[in-house]
Amino acid sequence: MTFVPPAGRASTGLTAESLTHVRDPIRLTRLLDQALCGLDFPEQGSLRKGFDDLTHIYRPQAYASAPLEAWLSRHGQPGMRKALFLGMNPGPWGMGQTGIPFGDPELVRTWMGIDSPVVVPEGMRGDRPVIGLHATRRESSGQNLYGWARGLFPDADAFFRTACVVNFCPLLFFDANGRNVIPTDFRKGVSAAEAMTAWCDAALLGWLRMMAPEWVVGVGLYAAGRLSVACATLRDLEGQAPRLVAIIHPSPQTRGHWGPTGWAPYVTRQMAEAGLIWP
């Protein structure tokens, strides 16, 4: 199994609990990447039926650290937000290219104003290239999510002053046939996958403490489930937690649920019915 780029030595002395108290978004992303590099994912037997062996794990927060950290410096500074949106993990044509959650390359450049270089990593699959912010293939989920945001906030700075966007897990997985693997594709009992979830749960708690959102929005059921766990933990520790709403994922695979009006009106209605009104 190959980390892309190759994983360095895992950070010693780092604990999941320590991530819950980090108040610098760049430091939090770096520490989580370091922690996950120390996990030993077995190639064989890790994935559910229908997948081949796990062969590649891409680390967008490492090879695309320049655009990610430029984005965090500009749009991700700590402070109270109306909402925190949480996705599951990178897609190959969004965060896999830009390092930014749901980061469709064109919208990252033209709307967010980020155009930093991406280091093409060693060891990547030929059929899963990293091109960077000038990749011509679009990220459908990112187009939908940030297209919705741009419709409400033509100025990206205005959107990110009121909201932040995070992915639960920053790793991108491929099996031997180049199929995209998501966290729910791991078999139960795979210790590395369970440890990954624990580290990412801790980092999510750090994000909630750092951004102090009134609302948390689970983009898809998996993300909503991890937010439910995080909010319960926060409520136990601090006596209060953000309000939670789940929205349908913006992937083309869910298009049949949107109806003819599209994803943006559908999720705007979902949020409004829960009490989250935009702008």
Q: CATH number of the domain that 268 lies in?
A: 3.40.470.10
- What is the predicted pLDDT for the residue at 149? 98
- Per-residue pLDDT for 154 more than 90? yes
In a domain, 147, yes or no: yes
Note the pLDDT tens digit of each residue in 183-232: 999 999 999 999 999 999 999 999 999 999 999 999 999 999 999 999 99
- Per-residue pLDDT for 10 more than 70? no
In a domain, 220, yes or no: yes
- What is the predicted pLDDT for the residue at 21? 96
Q: Which of 141-155, 203-217, 255-269 has the lowest mean pLDDT?
A: 255-269
pLDDT band at 150 (very low <50, low <70, confident <90, very high): very high
- Per-residue pLDDT for 11 more than 70? no
- What is the predicted pLDDT for the residue at 279? 87
pLDDT band at 9 (very low <50, low <70, confident <90, very high): low
Domain count, the chain: 1
What is the 3 state secondary structure string of the chain? CEEECCCCCCCCCCCHHHHCCCCCHHHHHHHHHHHHHCCCCCCCCCECCCCCCEEEEECHHHHCHHHHHHHHHHHCCCCCCCEEEEECCCCCCCHHHHCCCCCCHHHHHHCCCCCCCCCCCCCCCCCCCCCCCCCCCCCHHHHHHHHHHHHHCCCHHHHHHHEEEEECCCCEEEECCCCEECHHHECCCCHHHHHHHHHHHHHHHHHHHHHCCCEEEEECHHHHHHHHHHHHHHHHHHCCCCEEEEECCCCHHHHHHHCCCCHHHHHHHHHHHHCCCCC
Percent of all residues in the chain with a pLDDT value above 90, rounded to a whole number: 94
Q: What range does the domain containing 155 cover? A: 2-274
Cα–Cα dist 184/36, whole Å: 17
pLDDT band at 260 (very low <50, low <70, confident <90, very high): confident
In a domain, 218, yes or no: yes
pLDDT band at 259 (very low <50, low <70, confident <90, very high): confident
- What is the predicted pLDDT for the residue at 1? 85
In a domain, 101, yes or no: yes
In a domain, 99, yes or no: yes
- Per-residue pLDDT for 12 more than 70? no
In a domain, 73, yes or no: yes
pTM: 0.97
In a domain, 279, yes or no: no
Average pLDDT for 37-43: 92
In a domain, 211, yes or no: yes
